[in-house]
């Protein structure tokens, strides 16, 4: 944002960006406070806005044109929604192999990942709080593992972990570390707290069906 302000000769500008709010102080007492209520992981938007700020620093386009590009970037999705379900399935199936799984676990883990992503996408369109959505998505992720647990030769743990890894708050964790190093301590702590809350929600969502299954005497190797 500082780069953009410099390109448009707006000075002095100070920006405080946090996961829950954005504060911008401009010249002559102008200020902007924007509360952030909805957050998601879309690295295409990150890349596009980075590119836009680089382009504008070199060649400042009219503000109206910049606004249009910004609005287009906000909705940017490189891949269609159905494709993210397929990617989640691939991701879950593959990561199950790094989590102690064997080849037969790939398919159930992929199914678990696909179900998780479908649930998460469906719930993201509702007014449901994000953490509750993650909890329900994790709950759905346990279904293939609980079903396969009765058959020998499968590792239900790896299947379950594959499915719920789709919900891992990797971006939050990474940016929390980077913010901490950069000295943005409030942002770092709030991102870390959000990552912990998501982790807790996922663990709670996965625990409930597993708890019921175990107490009904289900087989769990």
Partner 1 sequence: MIEQAVFAGLTTMAFGFLYQVRASLLWISGVIGAVAWGTSLGIHLLPGAGLLGDFAGAFVVGGLAEGAALWKKKPVTIFVVPAIISFVPGYLVYESMVAFLKNNFNGGLHFGLSAMFAAAALGLGLALATALLRPLLRPHHFLNPR
Position 201 contacts partner 1 (CB under 8 A): no
Position 47 contacts partner 1 (CB under 8 A): yes
Closest CA to 171 of 74, 82, 78, 39: 39
Task: For residues 105 and 99, give the distance between their C-alpha atoms in angstroms, rounded to a whole number.
Answer: 11
Position 216 contacts partner 1 (CB under 8 A): no
Position 174 contacts partner 1 (CB under 8 A): yes
Query: Backbone dihedral region of 217: left (phi > 0), alpha (psi from -120 to 50 degrees) or beta?
Result: left
State the binding string over 50-89 for partner 1 (x if CB under 8 A, else -).
xx--x---------------------xxxx---xx--xx-
Buried b (16+ CB within 10 A) or exposed e, 161-192: bbbbbbbbbebbbebbeebeeeebeebbebbb
Closest CB to partner 1 among residues 33, 203: 203
Closest CB to partner 1 among residues 30, 90: 90
Q: Please give the angle made by the CA atoms of 6, 172 and 178, to the nearest 5 degrees.
A: 55
156-165 and 106-124 helices, crossing angle to 10°: 30
Give the three-state DSSP class for 98: helix
Query: Quick one: which segment of 26-34, 67-75, 124-132, 210-218 binds partner 1 (CB under 8 A)?
Result: 210-218
Position 46 contacts partner 1 (CB under 8 A): yes
Task: For residues 196 and 188, give the distance between their C-alpha atoms in angstroms, rounded to a whole number.
Answer: 12
Position 30 contacts partner 1 (CB under 8 A): no
Q: How many residues bind partner 1 (CB under 8 A)?
A: 53
**Closest separation in Å from C-beta 8 to partner 1:** 21
Overall residue count recorded for the chain in this entry: 221
**Residues engaged in binding partner 1 (CB under 8 A):** 41-47, 50-51, 54, 76-79, 83-84, 87-88, 90-91, 94-95, 97-100, 117, 157-158, 160-161, 164-166, 168, 170-171, 173-178, 180-181, 199, 203, 206-207, 210-211, 214, 220
């Amino acid at each position: 944002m500082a780069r953009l302000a410099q390109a448009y000769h707006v000075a002095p500008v100070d920006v405080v960006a946090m996961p829950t709010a954005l504060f911008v102080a401009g010249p002559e007492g102008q200020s902007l406070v924007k509360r952030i209520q909805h957050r998601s992981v879309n690295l295409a938007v990150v890349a596009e806005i980075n590119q836009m700020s680089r382009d504008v620093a070199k060649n400042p386009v009219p503000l109206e044109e910049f606004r249009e590009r910004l609005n287009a970037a906000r909705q940017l999705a490189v891949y269609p929604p159905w494709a993210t379900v397929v990617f989640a399935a691939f991701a879950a199936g593959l990561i199950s192999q790094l989590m102690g799984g064997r080849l037969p676990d790939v398919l159930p883990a992929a199914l678990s990942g696909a179900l998780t992503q479908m649930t998460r996408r469906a719930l993201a369109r509702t007014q449901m709080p994000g953490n509750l959505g993650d909890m329900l998505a994790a709950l759905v992720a346990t279904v293939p593992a609980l079903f396969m647990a009765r058959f020998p030769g499968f590792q239900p743990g790896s299947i379950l972990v594959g499915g719920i890894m789709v919900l891992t708050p990797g971006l939050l964790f990474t940016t929390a570390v980077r913010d901490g190093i950069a000295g943005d301590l409030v942002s770092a702590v709030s991102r870390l707290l959000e990552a912990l809350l998501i982790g807790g929600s996922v663990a709670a969502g996965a625990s409930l069906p597993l708890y019921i299954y175990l107490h009904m005497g289900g087989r769990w190797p």
